[in-house]
Amino acid sequence: MTMITNHMPTVELQAIDAAHHMHPFTHGADLNAKGVRVITRAKGVTLTDSEGNEILDAMAGLWCVNLGYGREELAEVAARQMRELPYYNTFFQTTHVPAIALAEKLAQLTPGDLNHVFYAGSGSEANDTNIRLVRTYWAEKGSPEKKIIIARKNGYHGSSVGSASLGGMTPMHEQGGLPIEDIHHIDQPHWYAEGGDMDQGEFGLMRARALEEAILELGEDKVAAFIGEPVQGAGGVIIPPETYWPEIQRICDKYNILLIADEVICGFGRTGNWFGSETFGIKPHIMTIAKGLSSGYAPIGGSLLCDEVAEVINGCEFSHGYTYSGHPVTCAVALENLRILDEEKIVEKAGKEIAPYFKEKWETLADHPLVGEARIVGHMGSIALTPHKESRAKFASDAGTAGLICREHCFANKLIMRHTGDRMVISPPLVITKAEIDTLVSRAHKALDQAHAQLKTEGLLKAAS
């Protein structure tokens, strides 16, 4: 076996990666032709690659490293837990301290009476759990025909068969025959792209009422639940109009359907409060968590249930669970992550002290000629690239062409921003400082200038007709 170390030349690592490693959401042959980037270390908000470049990670990995990289305490806790009890299951009348302690901490941190956790290994798994949970809930209550889950176009809920079915990403549905049965998608509250000349508040109400129309069309007695991300993340950081969530809440209450808030990104400080549900005034029956739960240091997810739903589910044998539901090492790491976020007041400081500064700086990007809007809530933001600001026009080129060009320039300027289509998104660690925000925004500005110049040279600044 070859010893693969950080000290191997990058080209050799790339060759082995190309030969044997298949990457998620990637055109493999294209990637292998370009060569993959090898990340070797990280500290705070900064990544180091195999060439020694230091890069500002404005994505916190994949929206998850809320605490920032390199916290010794999490490594210590993981090592201690592995020595003491590396694994035991929670299936057969058994439990262990990390699963207990984390469950209690989650009950304390979450709003309302979300007092019960069902553990999973990821956000996708947790949303698969949710599909079975809500259908089982209604079956137990004597309404087994209440099965349909309403979700949104361009929502993201994971990549397993169930969670990708909840998601509204058409390229994902096209591969492998998704969605599964009894999932219904409604339009998203994406004013910038779809709102036309409408007032934003009116548009928000209209898109929320699409839920009511769907319930009336499908039948109240057939609809089990609605699922949504407080802010759509992977869909492009779509911050809904203020009118949207209160109207969704009203409709869920009126028609007696369960409300699932997918807080996999929004949870644990991302939107300025501990949970997006607090920022947007949502009272969910079920909440999906993952990502920031462990700041990505260990894979873990979960479903939080309110008292009433938990009581019904506890009234039957729920035939569901994962080998790693409540894994002791990942639970211990998540608990330590939450302890630090809480005791060091990282969530509070990020929301109250840093977020207003971040917003002021981020919104300066809206003045750039290539930018149609620059928006941010807490520590998640987006900019829409456009060939024509006033009309919010799309590019004539394939969606994502301009975004990809911009992303390449970001990387060349030692900044990681992701693109979804022609929107650039950020979601940095919550520990980012004001000085680092200045660096982030100035690098973004420079990358936008360069992308603008390249798009002009290549004749790509044309608006779609």
Ligand X SMILES: *Cc1c(COP(=O)(O)O)cnc(C)c1O
Which of the residues 221 through 250 are near ligand X (CB under 6 A)?
229, 233-234
Q: Which stretch binds ligand X (CB under 6 A): 134-142, 156-164, 173-181, 249-257?
A: 156-164
Residue 241 CB, nearest approach to ligand X (Å): 19
Report the residue number, 157 or 207, with the smaller CB distance to ligand X.
Answer: 157
Residue 60 CB, nearest approach to ligand X (Å): 12
Report d(CA 35, CA 29) in Å as an integer.
10
Which of the residues 348 through 407 are near ligand X (CB under 6 A)?
none
Residue 159 CB, nearest approach to ligand X (Å): 6
Residue 420 CB, nearest approach to ligand X (Å): 12
Which of the residues 259 through 288 are near ligand X (CB under 6 A)?
262, 264-265
**Binding residue (CB under 6 A) for ligand X from 146, 147, 157, 327:** 157
Residue 231 CB, nearest approach to ligand X (Å): 9
Residue 441 CB, nearest approach to ligand X (Å): 24
Residue 288 CB, nearest approach to ligand X (Å): 6
Residue 362 CB, nearest approach to ligand X (Å): 20
Report the residue number, 158 or 429, with the smaller CB distance to ligand X.
Answer: 158
Report the residue number, 61 or 403, with the smaller CB distance to ligand X.
Answer: 61
Closest-by-Cβ residue to ligand X is 123
Q: Is 298 a residue that touches ligand X (CB under 6 A)?
A: no
Report the residue number, 44 or 236, with the smaller CB distance to ligand X.
Answer: 236
Report the residue number, 284 or 301, with the smaller CB distance to ligand X.
Answer: 301
Q: Is 103 a residue that touches ligand X (CB under 6 A)?
A: no
- Counting residues that bind ligand X (by CB under 6 A) gives 16
Which of the residues 181 through 220 are near ligand X (CB under 6 A)?
none
**Binding residue (CB under 6 A) for ligand X from 68, 98, 158, 284:** 158
**Binding residue (CB under 6 A) for ligand X from 301, 351, 387, 429:** 301
**Order of strands across the sheet that contains 114-120:** 114-120, 301-306, 286-289, 258-262, 223-228, 148-152, 183-186
Residue 79 CB, nearest approach to ligand X (Å): 24
**Strand pairing partners for 261?**
228, 287
Which of the residues 115 through 144 are near ligand X (CB under 6 A)?
122-124, 127
Phi/psi of residue 40, nearest 5 degrees: -110, -30
Q: Which stretch binds ligand X (CB under 6 A): 151-159, 342-350, 367-375, 376-384?
A: 151-159
Residue 236 CB, nearest approach to ligand X (Å): 12
Report the residue number, 74 or 265, with the smaller CB distance to ligand X.
Answer: 265
The residue ranges that bind ligand X (CB under 6 A) are 122-124, 127, 156-158, 229, 233-234, 262, 264-265, 290-291, 301
